[in-house]
Amino acid sequence: MITAAVLGASGYAGGELIRFLDGHPSMELIYLGAHSKAGQTLGEVHPHLGGADRTLGSLSSERASAADVVFLALPHGASAAPAMELVATGTKVVDLGSDFRLDTPARYLAAYAKPHPFPDQLGTWAYGIPELFRSTIEGASNVAAPGCYPTAALLGIVPLVAGGLVDPSDIIVDAMSGVSGAGRGVAEALQFGAVDESVKAYKVLEHRHQPEIERGIDAAGGDPCRVLFTPHLVPMQRGILSTAHLQTRPGVHRADLEDAIDGAYASSTFVRRINRSPETRWVVGSNNALVSVHLDQRSGRTIVISAIDNLVKGAAGQAVQCANVMFGLDEEAGLPMTGWMP
């Protein structure tokens, strides 16, 4: 058995990591670390997981380093230091945070308006979408699991750009997320009274998943891309829908678009193109992604729509999937291939 630890076990992604790793046939969870919830039992923090007998420890990278692989599910900026400590001990790391996702110091500086504490690391961590970048993950010791919005958007866009079917320089992405995408922290803007029965765009022109989406598209090769990304908050717990608008290259037919996506995921268990526009409830709870593609003859625009569960394919599920690839296990091991409805 491969041993695993989770730092950040008390959050939503942490809870999902525990759920998947507890059911994993080849991994054993040996350490759970948390910040303010350290000392509490799993039953107190995640009553749905049923386990009253395990106690959360501290966010100790030393204690976590006893594991073969450590999953970091920490707030932005909190991963870098423990990640480097773990790397120094030779422990494999899958970071669910954003600290190591961008590929260059310049892109990081543009996104975060301050230099990265370990700029040499940028570009050395594999960017963890196995369906798109499997080969770099296979040999990796350190993987940056992508953000939820980028996962949804890239699964639809990258095959079209990689196939030369659309212009990467003019991409518009409007995406909608359930509230769990904001994490389990307590905030006025996340109160039921502020979220229920309302929808809004937020962080217009300044969401940090925009450079991450661009980094993912650029990794597909071709000319540098430019993405205009607008996230929206929707009154539901889980799920992301990404609606992307792309300028189609001349002479491209709908069948070309469909073939590009079908081809990209021909050997994939989790990602699939469908002919209907996907609904998030069809993927919630599973590690699946559904994609549909539409060509508007009038405007020449391609619309590609993709749906995932932000906490599974967009976070904990994909992180475990990356670990499966890193260790040469079955890519599906421990991961849910069906969701639930309603």
In Å, how far from its chain's centre is CA 204? 20
Binding flags for a copy of itself, 108-137, as an x/- string (CB under 8 A): ------------------------------
**Nearer Cβ to a copy of itself, position 143 or 213?**
213
**Nearer Cβ to a copy of itself, position 114 or 276?**
276
Binding status of residue 245 toward a copy of itself by CB under 8 A: yes
When binding is defined by CB under 8 A, the residue of 53, 113, 139, 197 that contacts a copy of itself is 197
When binding is defined by CB under 8 A, the residue of 53, 188, 251, 328 that contacts a copy of itself is 188
Residue 198 Cβ vs a copy of itself, minimum distance, rounded to whole Å: 4
| Helical (H) or strand (E) element with 139 | none
Please count the other Cβ atoms lying within 10 Å of the Cβ belonging to residue 113: 7
Binding status of residue 47 toward a copy of itself by CB under 8 A: yes
Closest CA to 306 of 160, 130, 151, 134: 151
Through-space distance between the first and last CA atoms of the chain, rounded to whole angstroms: 35
When binding is defined by CB under 8 A, the residue of 281, 327, 332, 333 that contacts a copy of itself is 281
Q: Mapping DSSP to helix (H, G, I), strand (E, B) and coil, where does residue 336 land?
A: coil
Q: Which residues make Cβ contacts (< 8 Å) with residue 36, sequence separation at least 6?
A: 10
Judged by CB under 8 A, the stretch of 2-10, 82-90, 119-127, 238-246 that binds a copy of itself is 238-246
Q: Mapping DSSP to helix (H, G, I), strand (E, B) and coil, where does residue 159 land?
A: helix
Residues 283-312 that bind a copy of itself (CB under 8 A): 283-286, 288, 290, 292, 294, 296, 298-299, 301, 303, 305, 307
CA distance 125 to 66: 21
Residues acting as catalytic residues? 148
